[in-house]
Amino acid sequence: DADVTQTPRNRITKTGKRIMLECSQTKGHDRMYWYRQDPGLGLRLIYYSFDVKDINKGEISDGYSVSRQAQAKFSLSLESAIPNQTALYFCATSGAGSYEQYFGPGTRLTVT
């Protein structure tokens, strides 16, 4: 079984709709992250959380919100989706003191 899972893997939604992307991990890590990937722009950090009570904005948090429901779960919400939020979204985790971030398989989101 994968250590970091994301649901859904693909989603098409309309402008103005609310959508939630979910991430779960079985690695027991404290730290979780949401990135978006756009062609030619690499990965940009949206939000990150170092433990259940800690939420931090990343480089591009406008238009997004997050919830850390438990150590193993970190969800990303788009309150009112817009077309320029069409992208590939990755969740990642890391342990405190660990050098590596482990990535989920990604969610491809299309906003029409």
Judged by beta carbon, residue 50 or residue 67, the one nearer another protein is 50
Q: 6-35: which residues touch another protein (CB under 8 A)?
A: 33, 35
- Answer yes or no whether residue 63 interacts with another protein by CB under 8 A: no
Burial class of 55 by CB neighbour count within 10 A (0 to 12, 13 to 18, 19+): middle
Q: Which of residues 1 and 99 has its CB atom nearest to another protein in the complex?
A: 99
Q: Please say which residue, 85 or 93, places its beta carbon nearer to another protein.
A: 93
When binding is defined by CB under 8 A, the residue of 13, 65, 106, 110 that contacts another protein is 106
User: Do residues 56 and 34 make contact, with C-beta atoms less than 8 angstroms apart?
Assistant: no
Judged by CB under 8 A, does residue 41 bind another protein?
A: yes
Segment interacting with another protein, rule: CB under 8 A, options 13-21, 61-69, 74-82, 98-106 = 98-106
In the complex, the residues that contact another protein under the rule CB under 8 A are 33, 35, 40-45, 48, 50, 58, 90, 92, 96, 99-106
